[in-house]
Structure 1
Amino acid sequence: MKNTKNKILKIFAGLIAIILIGGILFITNAFLGNPISARIADETIKQYIKENYSYLDLELEKPIYNFKDGSYVVNARSKSSIDTKFGIHYRNGSIGYDSYEMRVLGMFNTLDRLSDEYSAVAKRIIDKELEYEIKNTRVIYDKSIYENGNNALELDMKFDKSLPIAAEVNIRTNILDTSMEDIAKFLTDAHKAFINNGCYFKKYELSAENDGIVVMVNGVTPKDIESDDLVNLLQKAKDYEDDTVVEKGNKKKDYEERITVFIKDNNSRNE
């Protein structure tokens, strides 16, 4: 009787172990795919590259499983071209699509790289010439270039600040004084620093979050900064935003919604 009971317990324990292992494998396959499918995807994509892009001298990364749609993605990059990199998507036994035309021929990679390089230049300028703690500086080129067409971009081109494509800059910093005068001074100092170093932006954005204070300023142009009326423009924008929040759509008719100023002070008793 005792032996029979032990056998039943062993069988029960074995079943539990099998269920647990099966569950782990199921979850792993659901989120990471399975080795067999990954190998098939890898071989299929390699053959696809050989047939379509052998002239590019590409290096292929290992397949990455996308659990959202059950596809595998292999990222390919050229050994000699910094801007030639794209993904090949495999699903249900065949190649779904690749992003070569968009990322490479469409110059998305080139513009992203130039944006990164310009961001690094802008951050060095701000860090050196402004007496503020800068968290991040990001330069973004105008994406309308893809719609309008522009011969200014070339694959693997060197970065040049004078590239004839409109750009805007976003600066993240710590601002303890949230007065319009302080914000205007920051934007003015940043603009002067950029101009003195040959950097020209069509728009400035400023954001800060520190010790319960949140500041977001968008849509400020060089013309606004150089008008000597920036404090007034910022105040009008803030008043407009405050009225909009309070009155739910009863906006001032005499204000053009172009600059936006949002300030929230969690430490203020009035908030």
Structure 2
Amino acid sequence: MNKKKIFFSVLLVLLIGFVLFVYNAFNGNPISKFISKQVLEDYLEETYPDQEFRIKEGFYNFKFSEYNYTVIEIGNTNKDGNVKEYQFRINGFFTPEVRWDGLYYANLDEQLANQLSQQAENEILPLLEEQIENIHHFEIRMEVLKGTFEEDVKWSKHIALEKPMELFVQLDSTDQTKEDFYSTAKNVKQLLDQHDYDYESILFNASGFDMEGVKAQTHGYLKFSLKVEKDETVDMGNIEEHNQDAW
């Protein structure tokens, strides 16, 4: 084979490889689709062993690099007599996992979760404000499945939730440097851990309220942000900086 034939052979292989790469990026491939469906079947069997489902044909969402499936619950209908359908998302190339369980979210009791979140905020916020002066806003998110608790249940740090709560702490960091923010975030986490609160993560937002030299009371701009998990330490290197032109 002469050099010209070798050149065109290599070019053809590269062209085919590029076409397959582009096709896979936008449409997935039969192997990964088969694996994702198998992962979903195993997940449904393990998570909901007493229920029966049928998985409809899925599609590849190239924007998020995931497979989306509609799952029908067999033998159960909604109040209008229609079959119950739920959306599931499978993400991950080497170790695909269920990233979105539509059945789980459909069964969340939002009203009770908000009620318990408010009770938790009423207990935890005063504790933090005793030592942290610049908390601008504090919020807790919880997930509670319907039927898990009685309607008159009261929140306590020992309550058995589906998963630990997520905390959001917005700080008035108008006059804070990155080092100040780091120190404050570390103190907040230390207080929560010292009092044995169980949580999944804390999202810190450090906001400035001096846009264009005017001290605002409500609307600010983001200066720093940090998310830290329960089992992590507050790391200066993980702090993200935002809107540096504003401050």
Q: Highest CA radius of gyration, 1 or 2?
A: 1
Counting strand residues as a fraction of each chain, which structure ranks higher?
A: 2
Q: Sort the TM-score into its range (normalised by shorter chain).
A: 0.3 to 0.5
The structure carrying a bigger helix percent of its residues is 1
